[in-house]
């Protein structure tokens, strides 16, 4: 599968009707990370359970996937953000075989905190990378991997499959970006159960209670 070789692939686009339903809520949410968002948003749950998307994930793992996290990330105009001075490249490690699904819920352009991935770099890391140096500069990336940079931009509804064990970085944001990040693994792992913070869950519930009650009032 292309994601195994190149670290990332564009996997499709969200159905227009479903996207409209999702963004009718997410466009009103303040900047925050909303964990386990599928448990309170039925439209996001419908997206997560989409048979076509799940078949792609099964093909990647060649097994039934386990969802570890489902988080809605909302960023906006970050103080002091400069697209010409983004963070260093780094890589993630969730468990021994994992995959991220990114779903853009706003248009993601040059100033929208897009991901930039070094294609294929998940297959060429050194012991030093893993043990001592989790982040590297753009000069080192160019020296070691050449110009294999891929910018993940796209219209609202764009879906990407990314192995974030590849070196990547998020460009600073000077405009609002809403992205759903779903983390899957090929099998249960006692050392990785996903990150869930009670305080974050409370904030999520408060925001959704406010928005959903407003919708109920409007249609009653």
pLDDT mean across residues, the chain:
87
Q: How many domains does the chain have?
A: 1
Instruction: Examine residue 22 and state whether it is found in any structural domain, yes or no.
Output: yes
Of 11-25, 27-41, 117-131, the poorest mean pLDDT is in: 117-131
The two three-digit tokens of residue 211, written as one number: 């928005």
Instruction: Examine residue 199 and state whether it is found in any structural domain, yes or no.
Output: yes
State the burial class of residue 25 (Cβ atoms within 10 Å of its Cβ: 0-12, 13-18, 19+). Answer: buried
pLDDT digits (tens, 9 = 90+) for 46-93: 999 999 999 999 999 999 999 999 999 999 876 655 555 567 898 988
Instruction: Examine residue 176 and state whether it is found in any structural domain, yes or no.
Output: yes
Q: Which one, of 178, 181, 171, 176, lies nearest residue 110 by Cα?
A: 171
Residue-number span of the structural domain to which 21 is assigned: 2-211
What span, in angstroms and rounded, lies between the C-alpha atoms of 139 and 141? 5
Mean pLDDT, range 181-190, rounded to an integer: 85
Domain with residue 18: its CATH number is: 2.60.120.620
Instruction: Examine residue 220 and state whether it is found in any structural domain, yes or no.
Output: no
Instruction: Examine residue 73 and state whether it is found in any structural domain, yes or no.
Output: yes
Instruction: Examine residue 92 and state whether it is found in any structural domain, yes or no.
Output: yes
Distances 58 to 20, 104, 184, 188 between C-alpha atoms, Å: 27, 21, 10, 15
The two three-digit tokens of residue 8, written as one number: 């990332």
Are the CB atoms for 207 and 30 separated by under 8 Å? yes
Residues facing residue 183 across a β-bridge:
69, 100
Report pTM: 0.88
pLDDT > 70: percent of the chain: 86
Question: CA angle 103-200-82, nearest 5°?
Answer: 55
Three-state DSSP at 220 gives coil
Instruction: Examine residue 219 and state whether it is found in any structural domain, yes or no.
Output: no
pLDDT value for 218 = 43
What span, in angstroms and rounded, lies between the C-alpha atoms of 113 and 177? 7
- β-pairing, 98-104 vs 177-185, is antiparallel
Please list, in sequence order, all residues whose beta carbon lies within 8 angstroms of the beta carbon of residue 20, skipping any fewer than 6 positions away: none
pLDDT value for 150 = 93
Are the CB atoms for 207 and 46 separated by under 8 Å? no
Does the pLDDT value for residue 216 go beyond 90? no
What span, in angstroms and rounded, lies between the C-alpha atoms of 21 and 46? 11
Instruction: Examine residue 216 and state whether it is found in any structural domain, yes or no.
Output: no
Are the CB atoms for 104 and 156 separated by under 8 Å? yes
pLDDT digits (tens, 9 = 90+) for 88-137: 898 988 888 999 999 999 999 998 989 999 998 777 776 676 766 678 88
């Amino acid at each position: 599968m292309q994601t195994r070789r190149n670290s990332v692939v564009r996997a499709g686009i969200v159905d227009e009707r479903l996207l409209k339903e999702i963004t009718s809520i997410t466009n009103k949410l303040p900047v925050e990370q909303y964990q386990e968002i599928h448990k309170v948003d039925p439209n996001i749950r419908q997206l997560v359970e989409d048979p076509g998307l799940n078949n792609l994930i099964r093909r990647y793992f060649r097994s039934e996937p386990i969802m570890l996290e489902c988080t809605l990330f909302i960023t906006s105009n970050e103080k002091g953000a400069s697209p010409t001075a983004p963070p260093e490249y780094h890589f993630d490690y969730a468990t021994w075989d994992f995959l991220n699904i990114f779903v853009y819920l706003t248009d993601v352009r040059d100033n929208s905190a897009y991901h930039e991935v070094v294609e294929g770099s998940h297959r060429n890391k050194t012991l030093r990378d893993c043990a001592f140096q989790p982040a590297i500069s753009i000069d080192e990336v160019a020296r070691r991997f050449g110009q294999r940079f891929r910018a993940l931009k796209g219209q609202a509804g764009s879906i990407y499959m990314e192995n974030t064990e590849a070196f990547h970085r998020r460009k600073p944001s000077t405009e609002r970006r809403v992205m759903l990040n779903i983390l899957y693994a090929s099998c249960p792992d006692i050392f990785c159960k996903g990150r869930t913070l009670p305080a974050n869950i409370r904030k999520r519930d408060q925001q959704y209670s406010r928005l959903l009650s407003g919708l109920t009032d409007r249609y009653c």
